[in-house]
Amino acid sequence: MALDIKPTRSELIKLKNKIKLAKSGHNLLKKKRDGLILDFFEILKKAKTLRQELIDEYKKAISKMNIARAVEGDVKLKSLAMAVSQNPEITLQTKNIMGVVVPKIESSGIQSDSEDRGYGLYEGSSLVDEAAEAYEKVVEKIILAAEIETSMKKLLNEIEKTKRRVNALEFAVIPQMEETAGFIRLRLEEMERENIFRLKRIKA
C-alpha cells in the first residue's frame, strides 16, 4: 500500500474502519466455513448409507434378473424389455445450503405396477415383475446418489474457497493493514513532535 509522506489522521481512521470491517468479514467467513463443514459431514453420512443401500439393491436386482433369465430365457426378456413404453420423469430443481446452490432431483414413474410396464400380464411372469421392480429400486437409489454426490462436490468446493478467503484475510490482508496503520500512527506521532519542536523554536 503506497503511503503519502505526510499521512493524515483521517487516513488512519479510514484504515482502522477497514481493519474492523475485514475482521468482521473474517469472523463471518469462519462461521460460514464451519457451518458448511458440518453440513458436508451430515451429507457424507447419508452418502455412505445410500451407497451401501445402492450396492445391496443392485445385488438383489442381479440375483432376481439371473433367476428370470434362467426360467424365461434371454430372448423373451429382451422382447419384454422392448415392449416397455412408460418413461419415468425426472425434474431437476435446486435448493440452498448456506448460500450454496445444490441440485434437488424429483422423479416420478420409476416404480410402476406390472400392468403399467407395457408387456401385459400374460406375456410376463412374477419372476420378470420381481426383476423389473428390483431394477426400478436401483434406479431410484441412483437418482438419490446423483443428488447427494453432486451436493457434496459443490459444498466441498465452497468450503475450499471459503478457507482460502479466511486464510487470506487472517494471514495477509489484516496483518498488512495493521502494519500500515502502525506505520501511519508512528509517522503522525513523529510529525506531531516535529511541530511541537518547531513551535518551541519559533517561540524562542
Average pLDDT, 10 consecutive residues per value, the chain (204 residues): 67 95 97 95 94 96 95 87 76 90 84 66 74 91 93 96 97 96 92 86 78
pLDDT of residue 137: 92
Which phi and psi (to 5°) does residue 130 adopt? -65, -40
Could you name the CATH architecture of 12-189? Orthogonal Bundle (1.10)
pLDDT of residue 120: 58
pLDDT of residue 2: 45
pLDDT of residue 122: 47
CB burial string 120-132: b at 16+ within 10 A, e below:
eeeebbebbbbbb
128/48 Cα distance (integer angstroms): 30
pTM above 0.85?
A: no
pLDDT of residue 156: 96
pLDDT of residue 18: 96
SS3 labels along 125-145: CHHHHHHHHHHHHHHHHHHHH
SS3 (DSSP) at 117: coil
SS3 (DSSP) at 184: helix
pLDDT of residue 31: 96
Q: What angle do CA 68, 70, 75 make, to 5 degrees?
A: 80
